[in-house]
A and B are shown apart, each in its own frame.
Chain A
């Protein structure tokens, strides 16, 4: 496989007495969807915040396209081609779609907002995602949950990123909207981006990911290719113990089948 577009080695992060992450390795390639899974407190959010530049890592190195970089803040991560869609989407309800897409990176001409150029570019981005938004001049508040997710994902594409991080993109969505967002993720992969999806939902993860990276208690627990993993294996890797109820029942069933 080609060299990874984003590569983390030996990442460690400590909050006071809590070692949130220790010695975590993580790779993403172009045109690949990597799911980052793990239980609550496994360190997923911390890792995402390190990749998106919100936190600095205490130890370890981050490479983008094989070049070692230091992420000093969300802006520097963005400038290096890492776009993040946070779980709460971080959209301004009172502004319209165009204003939200270009928030913080407005296009101006002679000091004045170039509304027409931004509006045209908005339509391009939404077409690229085959998104169904009737008008880009309605305030975000008037959009459905799935449409807001679409806008948030489209916004991550404004700066032509290399890697897109999606934090729980389907958490609050209905069935149809979830399918729509999964399609969007697939389109991101097709356009050659590295995609990282953080999710609790095993069905979604298995539907869209190429690789699954499991974190447990702040460490690399396992890594699976999508073709050779079962839900049971995933759950076992996430919970980590072979002595929990799920593993026990499976063991019992295996014993029954092979007396």
Chain B
């Protein structure tokens, strides 16, 4: 039997392991790098720091790493979205700071309930994003300029909201602090999670297999799907086991990864996500095809600012306080650098939300490793800058490789 999509004689039909390997090499040559550079980079960084100080890969340090990554990593999820459109948001740091300040002031000075304060902080982010989106679509102001203005304006707003004291300490009994610092999955739940993740993967893949078979399209074998599901379960269980030696899988990192998986699903499997990629790839083509381009822009800017606000809320919980420097200094650059290091193209239309995960882990590993080795902050800035430059160079080079191999 020949499948509908396997009839052309020019297709490479071989599916032996050797052919698959050749296929991979070919993809790499033609600039389709995906997650490979960042995962390789992460392994190298871990190897180097482990050699310098074995405590770097200790369970305790990795748990700490996961907690530290989640706050700015959450902001980075939004950055990936705007980068997919070929836009940028330079104000995520200020927005996260303003959202943290809003939360703290409402909670501590105004006596709002925690949930209400969080919602208000998220709404502030959402409104800012809507405003950006409308400025961009109605008046055509470049996002670079709008968000640069936002960077300054919302830093001012943050200072104003915080008022004279400048620092607001969250009450020590706050659930938010507990969530961000001290809530971990019990051991049994983490293993249950591993099994659930594997089963969910298996179920979705088997459904896809069935649908493809029904439509007479080629599909990977059931065995390969089962093998992958087992490997995935084993990987999650392995991570859980190692982190469980210390405190375990934190609630906040879990939320972060959950958001990433959800956003990845929305981007790859819904019309909205398809349109985000289309607008990022060729805005004019998308417009002519009837895509509501303006709505895509507004929704993405709104989501980005909302994730920035969420990151600000989590950071407030993690640091147990909001100050004038919250969301300042390198929050912006870390969030943007994480997305780019993770392999999301600055040129729009290419990338994945998982780049926020891996890119953030790389940056946080560098920070944590250098702290552990005991070097000064200036080295960290220089190393981070070098890694960012390397990532953007890889992006530009792979773009050129795609062009010259006719896929780009």
Q: What is A's interface to B at a CB cutoff of 8 Å?
A: 74-75, 78, 86, 88-95, 99, 103-106, 108, 111-113, 116-117, 119-120, 123, 132-139, 141-142
Contacts and interface: CB of A to CB of B under 8 A. Distances in A.
Given A112-B270, A135-B5, A94 B290 contact: no
A135 B215 contact: no
B5 A93 contact: no
Interface residues of B, number: 35
Nearest to B347: A94
B200 interface: no
Contact of A93 (B11, B214, B281, B290): B281
Contact of B215 (A99, A104, A117, A136): A117
Contacts of B288: 74, 86, 90
B5 A90 contact: no
B325 interface: no
Interface of B: 4-5, 8, 10-11, 208, 211-212, 214-217, 269-271, 274-275, 277-278, 280-282, 284-286, 288-291, 349-350, 402, 406-408
A75 B288 CA distance: 9
Contacts of B271: 106, 108, 113
A68 B290 CA distance: 23
Contacts of A139: 407-408
A135 to B, nearest CB: 6
B396 to A, nearest CB: 16
Contact of A116 (B8, B215, B278, B349): B215
A86 B291 CA distance: 16
Contact of B407 (A90, A137, A142): A142
A9 to B, nearest CB: 27
Given A104-B291, A142-B406, A119 B285 contact: no
B5 A136 contact: yes
Contacts of A92: 277-278, 281-282, 285-286, 349
24 contacts: A75-B290, A78-B290, A86-B288, A89-B285, A90-B285, A93-B282, A94-B282, A95-B278, A103-B275, A103-B278, A103-B285, A103-B291, A104-B286, A104-B290, A104-B291, A106-B271, A106-B274, A108-B271, A111-B270, A116-B212, A119-B4, A120-B217, A135-B11, A141-B408
Contact of B4 (A90, A93, A120): A120
B286 A94 contact: no
Contact of A119 (B217, B269, B407): B217
